Structures are given as structure tokens and as C-alpha cells.
A and B are shown apart, each in its own frame.
Chain A
């Protein structure tokens, strides 16, 4: 094996090794295209694009936290109830006169505290996460009913709902009904992405590490660019960038970075991959499990506020089945039920696959009961495909 021969891996091998990562994105694209025929293109129009994100933002936020929980080898069944509980508290806090910023921060902090409570039972009392979070699901549903008196809490004004359905626009940049803020933001994000990718590649080349072929690299940049710019174009031609998309984007970037590039992120994968080995490698695996629960709690708090904003009131029965949607998103996105495997981007794509199916079928006026059936099949087949390809490529 000569040194120069392995410097640049062939495109065929690259696709083979990454087929799992790309196949879900392709599946998402395929679903969008199929529904565009079935709905005469309605699902691709600007307004619907914005709706898909708004209607699913809280699930996607939960999926980001849930994928960390699943990677570390646990599961969290409590996020729906906890989101309802914090959603109710955030409404009360806001109605008592707190401004939006304080409300959001306070909700996240309460979420982190609830995460600490559950994390302590899971990590230190060593009770299985399934049981702790099942108990918490009941507990926080009960507490939500208690503090809301089982009736909805309406909000004192319309500012609260901005976090879920508001738009971030600079008025001066809105010309002839086109929201150029969104386009400019898209271009800026894309340029930053290109810059980071090129820098990373040059860094690798400097040390003589293996990199993907240049043609593949450029192709990848183009595809991502098309996605980012296409999305911002959709937003620009409807009402601009939704605030919740910015919140979601920042969350995704933050936690993608955390999982890929930080020590704690690597520890999460290590503990999920083999807890006992991680322990012998000097990793405080209890603390890692605990921290993951804190993150999940904080994101649940955020999702609770967003959902309250989306409904424009805090509902006692809010958050029903959120945990199941979030968990399904992670598994469709390639996470392993036995821990150690999964990505934040995967969970988001998985969540969007579910969202696109829901949305498309709603546009076709298919009843909710059939949507459940279709979603169930998608979940089963996606995970089957996952296990099948892994076995074939020798990864599972």
C-alpha cells in the first residue's frame, strides 16, 4: 500500500461509505417531488414551505435533544409533558409582565432544572431512563393540569406568538413584496459555509491527510448551496425568514458543532458506544449522561415556549405524543436504538421526512387516521432500510 495511493479516496468508495447519510436526504427530496405531483405543486409553494417549518419547529427542536439522549444510550418519554408544563409556566410568567426575552431564558432554565432532576435519577441513582422518563411523563402531565386548572391560559398580547409565527425582516430591504433580508441571510450563511469547508480542506491537505476528490467537494458545495439559497428564496417570496427558523438554525449549528467537534460530544458517542470502555478510558460517564439530560431539558423548555406561541395560548393537553414524533425522527434519521450512532442533522432530516409526509397528506385532504398508518410504515421501512444497508456494508 503506497502512501500516495490512499491520499484521495475514490468517489465510488465515498458514496458507498456515506450512502446512509445521503439516502435520507434523497428520500426527503423524493417525497417532496411525489407530493408536488399529487398536490399540483402546492406543497412546493413559498407559503407551504414556511408552514412546514412553523408547524414542526418544536418537534425538530425536541429531536435535536432526543438524538443526543439516544446516542448516549437512553430514551426520553417525558418531553411532551415537560414541554406542556413549561409552556404553561411561560404563559403565566409572560402574563405576569415579564418580557419575551426573560420568558424564553426562564423557560430554558426551568427545563434545565427538570433535566437535572431526571438526570440525577438516571445517571446517579442508576434507574433506567425508560422508567424515570415514564414517571416524569405522568408527573409533569399531572403538574400541568394542576397549575392550569385544566383550562387553557391565553396570553396578554400578541407579542408572545412572534417566536413561533413571527418573521425577522429589515423593513428597508422589503421591495415590491420580496423580502430581501431572507435572500441576503441565505447568501451570507452559504458564504460562511463555503469558507469553513475550504479552510477545513486546506488544513487537511497541509498535513497530508486523505480528502475527498475536488470534483466531489465542489459538487457537495453546490448541492448545499442550492438547498440554502433555494430555501431562502422560498422564504423571501412569502413573508421573510420565520424567527423560529433562525432559532432552529442556531440550535442545529450549535449542537452539530457540539457533537462533532467538542470533547463532550465525543464523550457522548463513547458512552453510548460502550459505557464500560468509556469508563475505563477515564470518562465520567455518569456526568456525561447527566449533561445530556440537562441539554434535553433546556431544549424541551425552548420547545414548550415555541409551542405555546404557535397555539397562542398554553393548553393543558399540549405536547401529546411529541416524544414519539421526536424519537421517530431520530430513528428515521439513522440513530441506533442501542446507542452510539446518530447525528443531529440526521434527526432533523428524519423530522422533515415525517413533516413532509404529514403536510403533503394534509394538503391532499387525507384524514388523520390514514396519516398515522403511513407514518408508521415510513418509520418501519426507514429503520429496516437502515439496518439492511448497515449489514450489507459491514457496519452492523
Chain B
């Protein structure tokens, strides 16, 4: 300890019109787990891209030393050769190749251009053991869950004799169980002398495993803490990340829920490819006017599948059951009918299922409501602009204009655009799927306020969330799902994280 494996001095990186990094300094000791925290857009990913050579030497100012030597990387390949590996949030495996092929892809030795696959199959087993993945090396990667795929990525890094491993939001798409395993693995790698930089939004995980933490804000390095010596707390980190104390993370609720409006009875959803497998099994629930209902449970519990199936059969081959709104049985067999029946859905997957990234903010907001904004099939563009401007102001969407392309907005603002689209179509029942995934603390709090205001106006909010504090802080009632079934129900008063986990995993 004490010796630095990575030193960054006064690093400045400009993009046209934006200073992404502003005299950042960072020192990572050999053999430690160093966590990097900051809101979205604070510069974490840019910093990692500079370190790993995505942005070549010369495109930034300042100095980067790796293992005591100043780096002169021209591409990621150069940094990999030196023993630096980065595992991105979006996994970069080739989905239709096997585990062993993925592990050695791009750095296998050949004799006369011919690969000795048998050797590599045997070799890959060594790395799979090291990361604790019990799978046949010949398994096709796309057949495994995200958690296991991540382990393959780490095995791949190990096979390249990695000395500094950078993990970008490694647990963001894992369930609690998988996350815990991964964190344990990172600690084990530390024992083996591998240094690790972990970027994370999950502050509890950071405090659990990191030795030191550096906070970035607006492209500047704000502070570096030693977790043990400085007795670091989540509150301290949040204060440094946002630059102010977040007094109330969850806004106070004032209204009380009214009569029951939505009833779903015995809802069963079948797998899109295997038509006999039940992804959701006999789910029944209800929701009141002005109520916020949360759905919790591990990944793969069937929450998103349940909601998408209710919303116009957007998931699954077919579904059985009954939906009533205001006591009347309704048909939601396609999305248009669901919207007309008063249901709105905001997807968890903003980029692929939510927004049309190559279109502007205005079109993204109006697309669900065009029939309402038009006469005889002709769009009333003045009305459309007015509505888009209204949402831009009400939801405080940060964009130079409503003509800005959605892709150029930050995650939090994209989420606000997705919410606006749904709000403009004015549903009575709002289903929001992971509304705060991947967005920063400040924007999260704003989204909570928006949802609360909607509930106060008598709308029904159904919130699918993997973040238990969010469910407990926001919801009047919580349904806990696992393995396709609704396992139990908790009121706001009785809900604790332990109870939710208990219902999900033990009942």
C-alpha cells in the first residue's frame, strides 16, 4: 500500500462547447478498491475513457501515470496491453458466441492462423473458476442472464492479465443476490492483488467494499475520502455529489387515496417464445385513485412483464385474466386500446423502448397524443408546440429548445420527456417502470415530486422499482413479486427492506 498504480494530474478534457473534465486529479493506490461517485454528467465516464485510451493522448490536457510511467495510449488496445481493463455498463460480449470464445476473443494465439480451441476451452475453465461461474465454457453467452455475462466479462479481463480493473456501474442491472456475489468477487480479486476502480450510484455498495472514494461534480474532483479513517457516510457523499444537502429525499405526501379504480384479477402471462411457460402466474391486485402502489421484487420476478402485458399485451405470447377500471371490464389487447381505457406506461428501457432518440423533444412528447392534437388527420402544430413548451416548463426539462434531439439530453431529462409523453395522453392510471434508473440524485428527487403531484391530482401511480428505499419512501402500498407471483402486500407503515426481502425470497 502507499504506492500509486494510477495517478492523474490536472486532467482537462474539452468537447465542443462543453468542458467535460476540469483539472481533475485522482490517485489510486496499488491493491485498493477505489470508488468514483458523482451525478450523471459529472465526468466519470469521460475520465475512464481518458484513462483507458478511448480518447487518445493529445486530445486532453494534463498527465496520466500508470504504474509510474506517463501513458501515451492511442487506443484501448494500448491500455489493455499494459494491464488495464474496463467493463462498461452495457456489456460488450458477442452474444452468439460461447463463453470461451468471448473470453479469448481478440487475444488468442494461433499457429499458422489456426486456433487451438481445445487448449482455450481448458484455459477458460481456469478463469471461470476464478470468478466462480459454474457454466460449461461452450455455453452461448446470450442464453445466460446479465449477472453471469458480467462474470464472463471479468474472466475476459483476467485472461488479459489485468492489473487495474475499471467497473462502470457493475451492479446496475443485477438483482440483490447477484450484486452481493459480484461485490464479494471484487473483494477476492483485491486479495489477489488486482486494483479496482468502481463507478457506482449505489452508495451503500460503495461504503461496503471501497477503501477510498473520490467524488466528482461538474467535471471537477471535489473530494477524496478514506472510508474507514474519515468515517464516511452516505450523507457526506450525497452532499459532495450535489453540492448541497438534500433535505428530504422523498417529498411528503398530503393526499389520501380515494376509491378503488383499477382491479386486475387472475392475470397470467405466457412467455413470448415458449408458449406454455408462465412468466406471470395468476396475479391479482388493485389500486386506488390518488394512490402510489409500488411493485418490488428481484430481477426476473415478472413485474415488468406483468405491466407490459396489461398495457396492450406488449409482452408475452398471450395472457389470461380480467382488468376492470371503475368496475367496468375493459379490453387492453393493444396499446391504443389501453391508452384509450386510461392506462399509460413509461418503460424502464428509455433508449430502446421509450424515446425516439433521433427525433426532437417536441415530437417525442406529442407522439402518443397526436389524434388529440389533430383535426381530420392534420396535426395542429401550434397546439403541439404549446403543449411541448408547457411540459418543458412544468417538468423543468433542461434543453435549449423543444427542437433539440432527444439523444442529446441527459438521462434524467430524457426520463422527463418520457413522462411528459405519457402525461400528455392524460391517463388515469400511470404505470412507471423503474422511473429513476440510471439518473442522478437531483433528477430523482424531481421525478418523485412529479409523481407525487400526479397522485395529489387524483391519478393512480403504479411504480415498478428495484430500489427498495424508493418503494418504501414513495408508496402507499407495496406488492412484492417473485417467480411470476405476487407473494405479498405491505402498507406504507409496515414496510421495511427486511420485510420485503423476506416476503420475496422466503414465502
Give A residues with C-beta under 8 Å from B. 1, 6, 203-204, 207, 209-210, 261-264, 266-267, 269-270, 273-274, 276-284, 336, 340-341, 394-395
Contact = CB atoms under 8 A, between A and B. Distances in A.
B363 interface: yes
Interface string B360-384: 0001001110110010011101100
Contacts of B363: 266, 269-270
A283 B335 CA distance: 7
Given A266-B363, A281-B367, A281-B368, A204 B382 contact: yes
Contacts of B421: 281
A95 to B, nearest CB: 39
B19 interface: no
Given A269-B359, A277-B355, A262 B335 contact: no
Interface residues of B, number: 39
Contact of A340 (B359, B368, B381): B359
B335 A282 contact: yes
A209 B371 CA distance: 22
A282 B425 contact: yes
B334 interface: yes
Interface in B374-402: 374, 377-379, 381-382, 385-386, 400-401
B385 A266 contact: no
B354 interface: yes
B334 A284 contact: yes
Given A207-B382, A281-B368, A282-B368, A263 B336 contact: no
Interface string B320-335: 0000000000000011
A44 to B, nearest CB: 38
Contact of A274 (B314, B356, B378, B425): B356
Contact of B370 (A266, A277, A336): A266
Contact of B345 (A203, A263, A280): A280
Given A263-B379, A340-B359, 17 more contacts: A209-B382, A264-B377, A266-B379, A269-B359, A270-B356, A270-B359, A270-B367, A273-B357, A274-B355, A274-B358, A279-B314, A280-B347, A281-B421, A282-B368, A283-B335, A284-B334, A395-B358
Given A281-B335, A281-B421, A284-B334, A209 B385 contact: yes
Given A261-B378, A281-B368, A282-B336, A207 B359 contact: no
A81 B240 CA distance: 67
A394 B385 CA distance: 23
Contacts of B357: 273-274
Contacts of A274: 352, 355-358
Given A6-B401, A270-B359, A273-B359, A278 B367 contact: yes
Contacts of A1: 400
A276 B382 contact: no
25 contacts: A1-B400, A204-B385, A207-B382, A209-B385, A262-B378, A263-B370, A263-B371, A263-B378, A269-B359, A270-B367, A273-B357, A273-B359, A274-B358, A276-B353, A277-B347, A277-B353, A278-B356, A280-B345, A280-B347, A282-B312, A282-B335, A282-B336, A282-B368, A284-B336, A395-B358
A273 B364 CA distance: 11
A261 B381 contact: yes
A207 B385 contact: yes
B334 A262 contact: no
Interface string B284-321: 00000000000000000000000000011010000000
A282 B339 contact: yes
Contacts, number: 92
B382 to A, nearest CB: 5
B104 to A, nearest CB: 32
A335 B378 CA distance: 23
B369 to A, nearest CB: 9
Contacts of A203: 382
B151 interface: no
Given A267-B370, A273-B358, A341-B358, A280 B379 contact: no
Contacts of B491: none
B121 to A, nearest CB: 36
Given A264-B377, A273-B356, A280 B314 contact: yes
Contacts of B378: 261-263
A262 B356 contact: no
B405 interface: yes
Contacts of B16: 394
Contacts of B335: 279-283
Contacts of B358: 273-274, 336, 340-341, 395
A154 B425 CA distance: 57
B345 A340 contact: no
B408 interface: yes
B338 interface: yes
Interface in B55-84: none
A395 B407 CA distance: 9
Interface core residue of B335, B371, B401 (most chain A CB under 10 Å) = B335
Interface in B106-155: none
A207 B355 CA distance: 27
Interface pairs A-B: 10 shortest CB-CB: A273-B356, A281-B368, A274-B356, A282-B339, A282-B336, A282-B335, A263-B370, A281-B367, A263-B374, A262-B377
Instruction: Give the one of A266, A279, A284 with max B CB within 10 A.
Output: A266
Contacts of B353: 276-277, 280
A264 B370 CA distance: 9
B145 to A, nearest CB: 21
Contacts of B355: 274, 277
Which residue among B336, B339, B357, B359 has the maximum number of chain A CB atoms within 10 Å of its CB?
A: B359
A340 B356 contact: yes
Nearest to A9: B401
A132 to B, nearest CB: 23
A340 B406 CA distance: 14
A270 B335 CA distance: 15
Contacts of A280: 311-312, 314, 335, 345, 347, 353-354
A203 B382 CA distance: 8
Contacts of B382: 203-204, 207, 209
Contacts of B405: 395
Identify the interface centre among B314, B334, B356, B363: most chain A CB within 10 Å of its CB. Answer: B356
A394 B374 contact: no
Contacts of A282: 312, 335-336, 338-339, 368, 425
A277 B347 CA distance: 9
Nearest to B352: A276
Nearest to B371: A263
A245 B353 CA distance: 43
B14 to A, nearest CB: 15
A283 B421 CA distance: 13
Nearest to B425: A282
Given A282-B368, A394-B408, A263 B359 contact: no
A123 to B, nearest CB: 14
A68 B107 CA distance: 45
A236 to B, nearest CB: 34
The interface centre, meaning the residue of A204, A262, A264, A267 with most chain B CB atoms within 10 A of its CB, is A262
A126 to B, nearest CB: 14
A219 to B, nearest CB: 21
